Amino acid sequence: MNLEDTTRKVIDSLDIDGLLERFDEPLYLVGGSVRDAILGRLGTDLDFTTPARPEKVKAILEDWAETVWDTGIEFGTVSAAYRGQQIEITTFRADNYDGHSRNPEVAFGDTLEGDLIRRDFRINAMALEMHTREFHDPMGGVTDLFKGVIDTPATPEQSFHDDPLRMLRAARFASQLGFDVAPRVRQAMEEMSAEINRITVERVAMELDKLILGQHPETGIDILVETGLMEHIFPEIPALLMSPDEHAQHKDVYAHSKQVLRQAIDQEEEPDLVLRWAALLHDIGKPDTRDTQDGRVSFHHHEVVGAKLARKRLRKLKYPKSVIEQVGQLVYLHMRFYGFGENQWTDSAVRRYVADAGELLPRLHKLVRADCTTRNKKKAARLARTYDQLLDWIDEIQAKEDLARVRPDLDGNEIMEILDLKPGPDVGRAWSFLKELRLEEGPLDREVAIAKLRHWWETQK
């Protein structure tokens, strides 16, 4: 690759007309923006650094950009929006860390090299001067980039001591880029894994999501498990590395879970965080439910236990309630399909399957298909055929009954009028009875529904 040609093309491709003319000090495209530009994947988030102080940068941007915000100005960063791009310009930094938190004592620097050496990884420590088009790579980031390796500018021990979150970022970049971490970085991660406990769970969750949404999440997951970091942040995942039974009657659950994740990704139209988490976690209930009787291994109700474990861990990581419930429900439902064989579904079972999945039904379809990792081609074909039959059945009933909105044939007001009830728990119980009746028998004529409701109410008395 000709870096001179690459840098020229990068500069020419940037839509920042008028910005350079306003800067009378050097302005460098820096960090991940340079890395992505060399890889041919530069997006619309552009990072720059400059010796100019924040107040001067702010004044320049206010004279040029469409929108400017200075929420990071105390750390030397001023942000702007311009023609669909988000631009961040940060004054050279020379930070000091106290070794207890990841928040540095901010100090502005005077040299580009001093700014680059403080960065997390060498592949993020390259810069491109916009006026002169000079490429700066004092740490050898391009070499690492071509080797596909993630290494730190300083020693990894010092880097991770300053900011333990960088250990997670190493795994995250491995996931996003398909790279591996350097041996010395891996060793430092193993020795310092407990340092991750200095980081807030919100920041941990943010990095985990970026890792899960990467192109190669299995790579990042392996790094976290192998270095011991995952034991501190999501111990249910390394717990999947169960010892095989003496007869090897169950598959490697950890390897299976990663394969299900990959097969779920292969079905995506676009990256789906909920689906990916559900695919990775769908069997986390197996270690707690493993049982051996008569030489056979079973995991009865592992989906129930797994759903509880998934919800509990995601709550500890302070995930949004919607994500917690959606992932938990998918884990809970992923075995429902296997309770029926070919030609063993009923209209009632189909209605309940759709009703329980609700808006998660498209994701559940993908998860169930991804969960088939058998090498037995006949078994795989049989499972696929059975699921195809289920989908046809869902379509057939949906065409007649509007399964997406299954509700009782009588509403609450009608229930109160028919049974001469006042608002209260009895109305809710009657409504639940009619909902179950609707799922079991499908839509009913009004008179039939009223007769069944009255008969049920007499039995309750």
- Per-residue pLDDT tens digits for 387-429: 888 888 787 777 666 655 566 666 777 778 777 788 888 878 8
Q: What is the mean pLDDT of the chain?
A: 88
180-181/149-150 β-pairing: parallel
Of the candidates 301, 299, 303, the one whose C-alpha atom is nearest the C-alpha of residue 278 is 303
- Band (pLDDT 50/70/90 cuts) for residue 367 is very high
Q: Is 359 helix (H, G, I), strand (E, B) or coil?
A: helix
Furthest C-alpha separation in the chain = 89
Six-digit token string for 451: 């007769």
The alpha carbons of the chain give a radius of gyration, in whole angstroms, of 28
H runs (alpha helix) in 132-252: 141-147, 156-162, 165-177, 183-191, 201-212, 217-227, 229-233
Average pLDDT over residues 314-340: 93
Q: Is 107 helix (H, G, I), strand (E, B) or coil?
A: coil
One domain for residues 429 and 398? no
**pLDDT for residue 454:** 81
- The CATH number that applies at residue 44 is 3.30.460.10
One domain for residues 433 and 395? no
Count CB-CB contacts under 10 A for residue 452.
Answer: 17
Please report the DSSP string for 309-343 in residue order: HHHHHHHHTT--HHHHHHHHHHHHHTTGGGG--TT
- Residue 19 lies in domain: 1-147
One domain for residues 374 and 444? no
CA 227 to CA 214: how far, in whole Å? Answer: 19
Give tens-digit pLDDT for 106-152. Answer: 789 889 999 999 899 999 999 999 999 999 999 999 999 999 999 99
Count CB-CB contacts under 10 A for residue 460.
Answer: 10
In a domain, 179, yes or no: no
User: H-helix or E-strand containing 77?
Assistant: strand 77-82
One domain for residues 12 and 132? yes
CA 198 to CA 200: how far, in whole Å? Answer: 7
The total domain count for the chain is 3
The domain boundary, picked from 369, 390, 405, lies at 405
Burial class, 308, CB count within 10 angstroms (exposed 0-12 / middle 13-18 / buried 19+): middle
The domain boundary, picked from 147, 174, 208, lies at 147
One domain for residues 13 and 143? yes
pTM for the whole structure: 0.83
One domain for residues 361 and 450? no
- Band (pLDDT 50/70/90 cuts) for residue 245 is very low
Give tens-digit pLDDT for 95-119. Answer: 666 555 556 667 898 899 999 998 9
Q: Looking at the predicted structure, is the pLDDT value of residue 197 above 60?
A: yes
Average pLDDT over residues 273-277: 98
Residue bearing the bigger pLDDT, 299 or 222:
222
The domain boundary, picked from 112, 147, 182, lies at 147
One domain for residues 314 and 439? no
CB 31 within 8 A of CB 121: no
**Residue whose token pair is 């995942």:** 237
In a domain, 90, yes or no: yes
One domain for residues 47 and 8? yes
Six-digit token string for 17: 């007309």
One domain for residues 48 and 106? yes
One domain for residues 297 and 420? no
One domain for residues 289 and 378? yes
